[in-house]
Amino acid sequence: MANLHSASQALNNMHTWIERANLEEECSEDVRVFSVVFNAQDLGVRVHRIVKRTDGILSFQFDELRPLNRYTKDQACVLIQSILVDYAAKELHSTLKRAFREVISRRLEEISSKRSAPPARNSSSKRTRRGDIDNTLHTGASFGLSQLET
C-alpha cells in the first residue's frame, strides 16, 4: 500500500507542475511512475499513471507488468536500466524540465513586472491631524530624565 501512496503522490506532484506550466494537454499522457517490487523469487513492476475523469477529477491508476519469476540478475538490471535510462532520463526528465522552466520564467516575468511598476505613493492610509502636533523634541522630560542634572 505504501508503494501505491508514494507513486500517487509523485504523480500528483508532477501533475501540479505540468498544470502550472499549462502543458497538461501535451504532457499528461507521457507522465508515468514505476514502482518495482522484488524479492528472492519474483520481480514485479507497476506502471502508474494519471487519468483525468470527465468531471475533471484525477484518478490514479496502474498496470502491473508480467512479473519475472525466477529472474536473473541480468534480467533485473536490464529492466531497471530500461526504466531509468529509456524512460526517466529521456522522456520524463525533459517533460518535467520543460514544465519547470515554463513556471519559473512566468514567475520571473511577474517579479520583473512588479519591479518596473511605478512606485506606490508615499502616503499613509492612517489619518493624522495637521497643525496640532508639536514637533519639538523634549528628551529631558522623557523616561523620567527630567530629574537628572547635567
pLDDT tens-digit readout, 24-59: 887 778 899 999 888 878 888 999 999 988 998 989
User: E strands along the chain, which residues?
Assistant: 33-38, 42-52, 58-64, 68-69
Count Cβ atoms below 10 Å from residue 100 Cβ, excluding itself.
14
- The pLDDT confidence band at residue 145, using thresholds 50, 70 and 90, is very low
**Domain assignment present for 148:** no
- In total, the chain counts a number of residues equal to 150
Q: Is residue 82 part of a domain?
A: yes
Single out the residue of 2, 31, 4 nearest to residue 16, CA to CA. Answer: 31
Whether pLDDT at 65 is above 70: yes
Taking every pair of Cα atoms in the chain, the longest distance, rounded to a whole number of angstroms, is 97
Total domains, the chain: 1
| CA dist., res. 98 & res. 71, Å (int) | 37
**What's this model's pTM, rounded to 2 decimal places?**
0.67
32 neighbors 87 (Cβ within 8 angstroms): yes
Q: Does any domain span residue 122? A: no
What was the pLDDT predicted at 29? Answer: 81
In a domain, 123, yes or no: no
Of 115 and 129, the structure prediction assigns the larger pLDDT to 115
| Mean of pLDDT over the chain | 81
The interaxial angle of helices 93-116 and 2-20, nearest 10 deg, is 50
> Residue with C-alpha cell 511512475?
33
Look up the domain containing 44 and give its range: 2-111
Q: Is the pLDDT of residue 124 over 70?
A: no
